[in-house]
Amino acid sequence: MNLSHLKQQFKHPNNAIFNNKKLCSKINGVIQIGACIGEEIPYWEELQIQNQIFIEPIPELFKNLEILANNQVHKPNVKCFNVAISDYDGIDDFHISTGSMCSSSLLDFDKDAIKYGLTMQTSNVIKVPVYTLDTLIEQSNIDMNNFNLLYIDVQGSEYSVIKGCQKNIKNFKYVFVEVNNIKMYENVVLYDEFDKYMKNLNFKLLDYRPLEGAQFTQSECLYVQS
């Protein structure tokens, strides 16, 4: 699948970032965690974001992501990492969804999650390397002056991602994240608690939108450092 076909398939009519031209003009680089097959890459290409890091733990998805990321016309500075991000370093189970692999998570599905869709079950468990974002940044010598947007879509592990980024969270001006409104995953931190945590880190909520087609199970949140 090429970038133009991908853009036609995955549209963002209600996305708080891609519809905000003023904000888009201020992005100098993005670190995207849970990048799946690279649905957003055509939009980073269109915006000509020069510095891009993509992180995706599932090997099958990562292969497509890496190809798309490295075939952008404007030739950005790209790094891709086939790992999971949380609040610890190690090797752990990653729960593959019965439906879309993009619904897979470090967290197992809650026993009641299936009532929200047949994809909300684990079909397989794989072992993946896990890092905190702080560890990955340090070990990979990432210059944080080049990145002011953190983009998170990790199916229930949002809180753990931020918790594992205490050294570097101050370097991000913007944080875009999909949060859970109901308990679809075991031990998930829901929106209210996550929002309080972000406010304690000096981020204010700039935009909040229910995720389209998700039965209000998830929402998109855009935070800005105040």
Burial class (CB in 10 A: 0-12, 13-18, 19+), 22: exposed
Region 146-158 average pLDDT: 96
Q: Are 153 and 36 in contact (CB under 8 A)?
A: yes
Whether 213 shows a pLDDT value over 90: the answer reads no
Is residue 178 within 8 Å of residue 191, measured between CB atoms?
Answer: no
| pLDDT confidence of residue 215 | 61
Q: Give the Cβ contact number of residue 74 at 10 Å.
A: 11
| Residue 54 to residue 66: CA distance in whole angstroms | 8
Is residue 133 predicted with pLDDT exceeding 50? Answer: yes
pTM (two decimals): 0.91
Alpha helix positions (H), 127-190: 133-139, 158-163
pLDDT band at 212 (very low <50, low <70, confident <90, very high): low
